[in-house]
Amino acid sequence: MKTELKEDKFKKAVLLVLEERKMEESGGRVDRVLLEDDVHDLYKAVKSEKGGETAMINIVVVRSEGHLREVLRLYEQTYRANFAREMLRKSGNLVVSYAFLAFPPPF
């Protein structure tokens, strides 16, 4: 896969998935510091004039589903906005957008 795909964000996302670096589910416990950091980093990525997709890929592809559900909940609570919708508006990179849609907001 490393030699087949050109160097871009899509390749980065695919390789992260194939490397099986996904965070383990924590049995309901959430690392509050990591959660708040992820929410803040996603907000910065969405609001940045340029870029931000790499930060979104790193969080969305690697974090566990339970963690991402909490990220979405806290993002909406903190910024009064739906992250998935903001990401779709910002990103013309559909790889990031469609990857995140695997974890739709629980609201």
Pick the CATH number of 9-21+30-100 from 3.30.750.200, 1.10.3720.10, 1.10.220.10, 3.40.1280.10: 1.10.220.10
87's tokens: 């990401």
Residues 89-102 pLDDT 10s = 877 654 544 445 55
- Whole-model pTM? 0.75
Distance between CA 59 and CA 95 in Å, rounded? Answer: 14
**Sequence ranges of the domains in the chain:** 9-21+30-100
Residues 2-43 pLDDT 10s = 566 566 766 677 777 677 777 888 787 889 999 999 999 999
Distance between CA 73 and CA 83 in Å, rounded? Answer: 9
Strand residues in the chain grouped as ranges (E): none
